[in-house]
């Protein structure tokens, strides 16, 4: 069997104008597609790339990780430079290295950190608004949000916090909805509320639904104490709204 060289790259992107990470059906303008097209062009062979997190349309990444195999060895730095030469200005490869055969960006990932940024002011942030969700109905109570967030940590059935499926206890792909949340930190930095989510893995839309639920708690629309009941119901309808994509950033992937 032909020897293959396995590569790991890190990249950051402003997801505003992309249709998300994953290539699917007729969806054009995905980040996966941009990378695959350039790598295929570079190597002369079809290259398939796997991302650690399949970020949705409009979601950003400070550090996304991806892996792919090539039939011919190329220096990691040359791959990085080649990609950066042809990628849109809103995507940048920050590191490239060769890795052992069994490394897979998604399957090998041990944990992920996501950040959700809320701009809690009536005054627009002209510099960063594409990376913020502006919520200006009232001043959010950061302490209450942290109280609620703490109740979500540890082993948690995320059934209420993901796109619902027919079968309770399983997500739409048939996987168990139980996950371990390592920590959620809520802090106020001036007019910004920054929520940092760390966990072994999140289900589809989970971080955005958690962020939305915490925002409703911060706004006094639901209580922090309601969290255990929301979790126990295992029903999407019992959690809060799905916060917009623009405020979400994949911050880091742990291996």
Note if 56 is an active site residue. yes
Distance in angstroms (rounded) separating the CA atoms of residues 208 and 229: 19
Q: Could you tell me which of 157, 132, 94, 153 has the C-alpha nearest to residue 244?
A: 132
Catalytic hit among 14, 56, 102, 182: 56
Among 1, 26, 102, 126, binds a second copy (CB under 8 A): 126
Q: Which two tokens stand for residue 198?
A: 């760390």
Min dist CB 37 to a second copy, Å, is: 19
129 binds a second copy (CB under 8 A): yes
The stretch near a second copy (CB under 8 A) out of 12-20, 99-107, 158-166, 214-222 is 12-20
Min dist CB 121 to a second copy, Å, is: 9
Q: Could you tell me which of 206, 207, 203 has the C-alpha nearest to residue 195?
A: 207
Among 2, 26, 44, 127, binds a second copy (CB under 8 A): 127
Helix (H) or strand (E) holding 19: none
Among 26, 100, 123, 166, binds a second copy (CB under 8 A): 123
Beta bridge partners of 9: 66, 96
189 binds a second copy (CB under 8 A): no
Among 5, 6, 14, 194, binds a second copy (CB under 8 A): 14
Q: CB nearer to a second copy: give 46 or 127.
A: 127
Q: CB nearer to a second copy: give 124 or 221.
A: 124
Contacts of 177 (CB under 8 A, 6+ apart): 157, 158, 159, 162, 169, 170, 171, 203, 234
Beta bridge partners of 97: 8
134 binds a second copy (CB under 8 A): no
Distance in angstroms (rounded) separating the CA atoms of residues 74 and 39: 11
Q: Which two tokens stand for residue 30?
A: 């995905």
The stretch near a second copy (CB under 8 A) out of 98-106, 117-125, 144-152, 224-232 is 117-125
Q: Which two tokens stand for residue 191?
A: 């007019």
Q: Which of residues 53-112 bind a second copy (CB under 8 A)?
A: 60, 62, 84, 89-92, 94
Say which residue the tokens 């029903």 belong to: 235
131 binds a second copy (CB under 8 A): yes
Helix (H) or strand (E) holding 116: strand 111-119
Residues with a catalytic annotation lie at 56
Contacts to a second copy by CB under 8 A: 12-14, 60, 62, 84, 89-92, 94, 123-129, 131
């Amino acid at each position: 069997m032909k020897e293959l060289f396995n590569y790991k790259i890190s990249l950051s992107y402003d997801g505003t104008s992309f249709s998300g990470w994953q290539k699917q059906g007729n969806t054009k303008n995905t980040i996966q597609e941009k990378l695959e097209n350039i790598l295929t062009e570079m190597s002369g062979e079809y290259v398939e790339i796997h991302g650690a997190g399949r970020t949705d349309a409009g979601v950003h990444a400070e550090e996304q990780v991806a892996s792919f195999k090539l039939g011919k060895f190329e220096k990691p730095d040359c791959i990085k430079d080649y990609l950066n030469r042809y990628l849109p200005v809103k995507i940048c490869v920050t590191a490239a290295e060769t890795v052992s055969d069994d490394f897979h960006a998604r399957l090998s990932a041990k944990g992920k950190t996501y950040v959700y940024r809320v701009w809690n002011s009536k005054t627009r942030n002209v510099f960063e608004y594409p990376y913020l969700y502006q919520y200006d109905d009232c001043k959010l109570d950061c302490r209450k949000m942290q109280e609620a967030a703490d109740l979500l940590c540890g082993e948690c059935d995320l059934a209420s916090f993901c796109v619902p499926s027919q079968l309770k206890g399983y997500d739409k792909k048939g996987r168990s909805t139980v996950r371990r949340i390592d920590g959620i930190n809520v802090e106020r930095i001036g007019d910004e509320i920054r929520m940092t989510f760390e966990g072994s893995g999140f289900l589809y839309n989970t971080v955005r639904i958690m962020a939305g639920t915490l925002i409703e708690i911060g706004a006094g629309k639901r209580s922090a104490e309601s969290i255990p009941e929301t979790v126990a119901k295992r029903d999407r309808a019992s959690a809060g709204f799905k916060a917009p994509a623009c405020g979400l950033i994949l911050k880091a992937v742990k291996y």
